[in-house]
Amino acid sequence: MIGPVQLLMIGFKGSQPPDEVRKELDHLLIEHDHVRVIDVLTLVMHRNRTVERQQARDLLPALPADSGDLVDRLLRGAGAAAVMGDSTSGGAGYLFRGDDIPQLRQHMRPGTGAVILLLEHLWAVPLRDAVAESDAFPVADAWVGRTALQDLDLMPSTTSMSSAAGHAAR
């Protein structure tokens, strides 16, 4: 059985992800055993609002030739709630409830691109199974964003990070 799966979209300006993102994606794909990259799709929205699929293997050479196909099928076939939300929305046995899959055209701007990752969270399999096999049940789950983490002083603010980086460069 597959573990909990996350669809993660990372946007970027221009037609190529920044080198720092490419490096971390390569690191994630090769070196981690607690998260498995199931599939990767890279898209670019041109100024005329047409969306072009790019070869993910250009981004990560270790990917198989058919990379992007699963994400593409998920995005194209997503009567979004049917794929993620309705199938897991209520019921025991699910640690992570599904959310609607975002519509790319609503989230991408012309002249930007996106790397879309389908990730399996292997670390969560034992916890999910324990919940499913007991009388426990999921109440909610969410990813806490950067602003909320900054408000809790768990992450430096963007201005602090950029001034710290500038200070470190001196």
Tell me the two tokens of residue 110. 């012309």
Residues 159 and 90 in one domain: no
Residues 129 and 149 in one domain: no
Query: How do residues 121-144 score in pLDDT, each as one tens digit?
Result: 999 899 988 988 998 887 877 778
Contacts of 72 (CB under 8 A, 6+ apart): 41, 53
- Among residues of the chain, what percentage have pLDDT more than 90? 11
What is the C-alpha to C-alpha distance for residues 39 and 120, in angstroms, rounded to an integer? 10
Contacts of 53 (CB under 8 A, 6+ apart): 41, 42, 43, 68, 72
Contacts of 45 (CB under 8 A, 6+ apart): 51, 52, 104, 105, 108, 109, 110, 111, 112, 113
Residues 89 and 147 in one domain: no
Residues 37 and 89 in one domain: yes
Residues 108 and 168 in one domain: no
Residues 82 and 159 in one domain: no
Q: Which pLDDT value is given to residue 8?
A: 87
Residues 43 and 117 in one domain: yes
- Among residues of the chain, what percentage have pLDDT more than 70? 72
Domain that holds residue 67: 5-139
What value does the mean pLDDT take over residues 31-37?
A: 83
Residues 104 and 168 in one domain: no
Residues 74 and 26 in one domain: yes
Residue 52 has pLDDT above 90, yes or no: no
Query: How do residues 75-130 score in pLDDT, each as one tens digit?
Result: 877 643 343 343 333 434 344 555 566 667 777 899 999 998 888 999 989 998 89
Residues 112 and 161 in one domain: no
Residues 83 and 96 in one domain: yes
Residues 21 and 40 in one domain: yes
What's the structural domain count of the chain?
2
Q: Following CA atoms 61, 26, 45, 162 in sequence, which dihedral angle do they give, to the nearest 10 degrees? A: -150
